[in-house]
A and B are shown apart, each in its own frame.
Chain A
Amino acid sequence: MDWLFEPFQHTFMQRALAACVLIGFLNGFLGAFVVLRRMALMADSLSHSLLPGLAVGVLLFKSLAPAGLFVGALTAALMVALGAQLLSKSSRVKEDTALGILYTVSFSAGVILLSFVKVRVSLMHYLFGNILGVSNQDLWMAFAVALVVLPLLVAFERPLQLLLFDPAVARSQGIATGVLNIFLVVSLVLVMVCSLQAVGVILLLGLLVSPAATMYLLCDSFPLMLWGGGVLGVLGSTIGLWMSYWLQVPSGACIVMVLGALFCIALLFSPRYGLVFRWFKSRHFHHESLARWKKDHADNTEPEHKH
Chain B
Amino acid sequence: MSNHSLKVEDLTVSYRRIPALHHLNFSVSCGQCVAVLGPNGAGKSTLLKSIAGLVKLESGVVYFHGKTVNGATKEFAYLPQREMVDWDFPTTVRGVVEMGRYLRLRWWRPYSQEDDRAVTNALEAMQLTPLQDRQISALSGGQQQRVFLARAIAQEAHVFLLDEPFTGLDQPSQESLKRLLKDLRNQGKLILVSHHDLSTVEELFDQVLMINGELIAAGPVKDTLTRENLEKTYGMHVFSGVSHGLAI
Interface residues of A (CB under 8 A from B): 36, 155-159, 161-162, 164-166, 168-169, 171-175, 216, 219-222, 224-225, 272
Contacts and interface: CB of A to CB of B under 8 A. Distances in A.
B244 to A, nearest CB: 36
Interface string B53-78: 11000000000000000011110111
A173 B86 contact: no
B103 interface: yes
8 contacts: A155-B107, A162-B102, A164-B86, A165-B85, A166-B85, A171-B53, A172-B54, A221-B90
B90 A158 contact: no
Nearest to B102: A158
Contacts of B103: 173-175
Contact of A165 (B71, B99, B155): B99
Contacts of A171: 53-54, 72
B46 to A, nearest CB: 13
The winner among B53, B54, B102 for most chain A CB atoms within 10 A is B102
The 9 closest A-B CB pairs, nearest first, are A174-B72, A172-B52, A172-B78, A220-B135, A173-B103, A158-B102, A168-B80, A165-B89, A220-B90
Nearest to A32: B90
Contacts of A272: 135
B84 interface: yes
Given A158-B102, A173-B72, A165 B54 contact: no
A156 B102 CA distance: 11
Contacts of A158: 99, 102, 105, 107
Contacts of B52: 172
Contacts of B108: 155
A262 B103 CA distance: 37
Given A158-B105, A168-B78, 20 more contacts: A36-B89, A155-B108, A159-B102, A159-B107, A161-B99, A164-B86, A165-B85, A165-B96, A166-B80, A166-B85, A168-B80, A168-B84, A169-B80, A173-B74, A173-B103, A174-B73, A216-B90, A219-B90, A224-B90, A272-B135
B102 A222 contact: no
B139 to A, nearest CB: 13
Given A172-B54, A172-B78, A156 B89 contact: no
Contacts of A221: 90-92, 95
Contacts of A159: 102, 107
A166 B96 CA distance: 10
Nearest to A225: B90
Contacts of A174: 53, 71-73, 103
B51 to A, nearest CB: 10
A153 B95 CA distance: 19
A58 to B, nearest CB: 41
Contacts of B95: 221-222
A175 B106 CA distance: 10
Interface in B7-65: 49, 52-54
Nearest to B76: A172
Interface in B93-147: 95-96, 99, 102-103, 105, 107-108, 135
A172 B52 CA distance: 6
Contact of A36 (B77, B86, B105): B86
Nearest to A158: B102
A164 B90 CA distance: 11
Nearest to A224: B90
The winner among A156, A158, A159, A224 for most chain B CB atoms within 10 A is A158
